[in-house]
Chains A and B, each alone.
Chain A
Amino acid sequence: MIVSILIYGLVNSVILILTALGFSLTLGLSRVANFAHGGIYVSSGLVAWLLLRRVGLPYPLALLLTVLISGLLGALIYRLILIRVRGIELSEVIATFAVGVAILEFFRWLGFVTYEFNLPSFIPGRVDIAGVLIDYQRLFIIGVGLVLALLLWFFSHHTKIGLALRGIAQDEYTALTLGIESDWAATLSVALGSSLTAVAAVTILPLGIISINTGYDVLLIALAVAVVGGLESTVGLVVAGIVLGYAMVITSNFVGPQWMMVVYLVAIVLVLAIRPSGILGQFKELEERV
Chain B
Amino acid sequence: MAATYRKERLDRGIKARSDDIFALASYRDLAYLLLPRLLLIGGLLLVPLLEGVLGLYWLNVILIACTIALLALSWDLLASVGLISLGHSLFFGVGSYIAGALNYSLGWSPLLTLPVAMVAGALICTLLIYPILRLRGIYFALITLALPLLFMRVIEATKILGGTEGLSSLSPLPGQPLVLYIVLAAVLVCFFGYRRLIDSDYGLVLRAINDNDRSVMASGINIYHYKAQAVFIAALPATFAGAFLTHHYRIVGMPAFSLEYSILPLTSVIVGGQGSFAGALLGALLLVPVSESLRAFGTLRVVLYSVMLVIFTVGLPEGIFPYIRRKYHQFERPVPVEEGS
Chain A residues at the B interface, C-beta cutoff of 8 Å: 33, 81, 84-85, 89-91, 93-95, 98-99, 101-102, 105-106, 108-109, 216, 220, 223, 227, 256, 258-259, 261-262, 265-266, 268-269, 272-273, 276, 287-290
Contact = CB atoms under 8 A, between A and B. Distances in A.
Contacts of B320: none
Contact of A269 (B134, B143, B259, B309): B143
A98 B309 contact: yes
A251 to B, nearest CB: 10
Interface stretch (B100-108, B177-185, B310-318): B310-318
B299 A108 contact: yes
Given A89-B137, A109-B300, A272-B135, A99 B306 contact: yes
A220 B142 contact: no
B331 interface: no
B149 interface: yes
B175 interface: no
B143 A272 contact: yes
Contacts of B150: 262, 265-266, 269
Contact of A265 (B146, B263, B302): B146
Given A94-B309, A276-B135, A288-B135, A265 B143 contact: no
Contacts of B47: none
B149 A98 contact: no
Nearest to A105: B302
B220 interface: no
Contact of B303 (A90, A109, A265, A289): A109
B29 to A, nearest CB: 39
Given A272-B132, A272-B139, A288-B139, A105 B306 contact: yes
Interface stretch (B20-28, B34-42, B153-161): B153-161
B59 interface: no
Interface residues of B, number: 42
Contacts of B214: 290
Among A84, A99, A101, which residue has the most Cβ atoms of chain B within 10 A? A101
B127 interface: no
A105 to B, nearest CB: 4
6 nearest A-B residue pairs (beta carbon): A102-B306, A258-B157, A265-B150, A98-B309, A109-B299, A98-B306
Contacts of A288: 135-136, 139
A79 to B, nearest CB: 12
B84 A90 contact: yes
Contact of B157 (A106, A220, A256, A289): A256
B138 interface: yes
B131 interface: yes
5 contacts: A84-B314, A90-B137, A258-B153, A268-B142, A273-B143
B142 A223 contact: yes
A248 to B, nearest CB: 13
Interface string B312-332: 011101000000000000000
Given A98-B307, A98-B310, A265-B149, A105 B299 contact: yes
Contacts, number: 111
Interface in B38-89: 84, 86
Contacts of B142: 223, 227, 268, 272
Contact of A90 (B138, B217, B299): B138
A133 B44 CA distance: 66
A85 B300 CA distance: 26
Contacts of B266: 94
B193 interface: no
B147 interface: yes
Contacts of A84: 314-315
Contact of A89 (B138, B259, B310): B138
A220 B210 CA distance: 28
Given A105-B303, A273-B131, 12 more contacts: A98-B309, A98-B310, A102-B303, A102-B307, A105-B302, A216-B259, A220-B146, A262-B150, A272-B132, A272-B139, A273-B132, A288-B135
Contact of B153 (A223, A227, A265): A265
A252 B309 CA distance: 37
A265 B156 CA distance: 14
A223 B259 CA distance: 16
Among B84, B214, B266, B302, which residue has the most Cβ atoms of chain A within 10 A? B302
Contact of A259 (B157, B303, B306): B157
A289 B84 contact: no
A268 B153 CA distance: 14
A241 to B, nearest CB: 18
A87 to B, nearest CB: 12
A9 to B, nearest CB: 20
B157 to A, nearest CB: 4
Contacts of A220: 146, 149
Contacts of B138: 33, 89-90, 93
Nearest to A223: B142
